[in-house]
A and B are shown apart, each in its own frame.
Chain A
């Protein structure tokens, strides 16, 4: 059933707005207290942020000056927007209870043809029997356990994929900080923050979460179920760096980094690519110097040298192709620094550019195949 847009006061007939945070309402016309009896009502609570401006600055400074980020990121970044956002979570609490039939394991000694009823275990007749006839067995005795258990589940009430947030990160934080939950109205929350609406149907959460839990417990019955929405504060920072904009989200309950993306320090790629290219130059230079020591005539007439030349040529081509491709990929692949609760890490932001070394790869592949097959038959250069 969809929520009514307006209700009427049963006492004076005046129009009353539907409740948002509490079932208790007051009629604007007759000022009498009213109670909303609809089943679709869910109380709302909020967790209190534990970070102030100084904490925000400290956290952002630490992120922007991270070694993986550009060296001038903290200096050149401009804060475009800083906005608290409340993410909704369902808090399902209640009681589940029942008498569970559980078995109690007990070690027993079995005699051939002995009665294994629990009353007979360990009796004198068994104790007096010869040792060789004893056989130890595990018996399961009937046993029950009375369980009146509280349960508490926290589930995201809104799809967090768009936020690039793993819900387990925040669910743990919600569970650990429930002590600071305070009753709120949406008006209070939205005064200085954005509020994300719950968009995951509660029925699905109850069915998948609590229902599944009850089923696994066998005879456990759901005695009570209370549902509340808990709003969790996160702080979203938007920065501009050159032509790029990026956002970082902080968990304001634990003061930790939650999600976001930062530019990658691309000079790392160049700094890695330069030694690769330098190494290539060194290897190839030495190969050519080696080759230059032998005269052209000797290369042609000596089969051993010819083979060596082909081998060296293959090695040189392979090293050159692989090295240049590695350098190319390092420099041209779009990389970003992903902010995660575990710490920043480098990730590929998009597909790598089209490989310009494809013809060289094909040639190298052909040559390697030829060299491998030549071991099984006469080499073409021997004929």
Chain B
């Protein structure tokens, strides 16, 4: 590889304007077009949206980037008891996986499941607010979504012998609002509290 090919211009593949992103970002934004792209690859462009704050008052203190993964989860099992149990489960909504770097990554899954169980609270809108730097590559999101669904199923009935696949239909880069309350952060969707270290800028 030549040295020149190691550098790519950070410009929007649609409008040609400079992309927006902090020093640690791998996901860059074109504000006028409302798009996000991973690296400088024009082939990987995703819509940029913001989640409307439904809890908390005033303007959010920060917006954290998440990948909103929507798709079709299908499963198959011969076990009739499991079929009945899975069919009785509340279907999950779109899965939101954090796209920012976080040293305490264990909180990811909690929020992902909580948001997925309350999809009616995730209303998207266009926006222009600053976002934390996004880093997570979207390539593993479909497998993450498949496993998140399976884990949800496994809480009710063992998934041994259950075949499952997840077909990714829609991927959106979303900013989730957070408010600072008493030294902690609280999301503007469900009011979930996270420590300040959740966001390592």
Contacts and interface: CB of A to CB of B under 8 A. Distances in A.
Interface of A: 1, 4, 6-11, 16, 21-25, 32-38, 43, 91, 93, 95, 97-99, 101, 142-148, 150, 152, 178-179, 181-183, 221, 223-224, 226, 228
A4 B6 contact: yes
Given A10-B7, A183-B201, A148 B25 contact: no
Contact of A22 (B8, B24, B104, B160): B24
A8 B7 contact: yes
13 contacts: A1-B1, A6-B3, A23-B26, A24-B25, A35-B10, A37-B6, A37-B7, A93-B105, A97-B147, A148-B151, A150-B105, A178-B103, A178-B104
A43 B201 CA distance: 13
A11 B40 CA distance: 14
Contacts of B105: 93, 95, 150, 152
B159 A7 contact: no
Nearest to A104: B158
A179 B3 contact: no
A335 to B, nearest CB: 42
Interface string B1-19: 1011111111100000011
Instruction: Give the secondary structure class of A's interface.
Output: strand
Interface size class of B (residues with CB under 8 A): 35 or more
A152 B103 contact: yes
B18 A32 contact: yes
Given A35-B39, A142-B160, A152-B103, A7 B144 contact: no
A43 B109 CA distance: 24
B123 interface: no
Contacts of A10: 4, 7-9
B114 interface: no
Contact of A223 (B4, B106, B144, B197): B144
A9 B7 contact: yes
B129 to A, nearest CB: 20
Contacts of B143: 97, 221, 223
B10 A34 contact: yes
A1 B109 CA distance: 37
A35 B7 contact: yes
Given A146-B153, A181-B103, 7 more contacts: A10-B7, A24-B22, A43-B24, A93-B101, A95-B140, A150-B109, A226-B101
B137 interface: yes
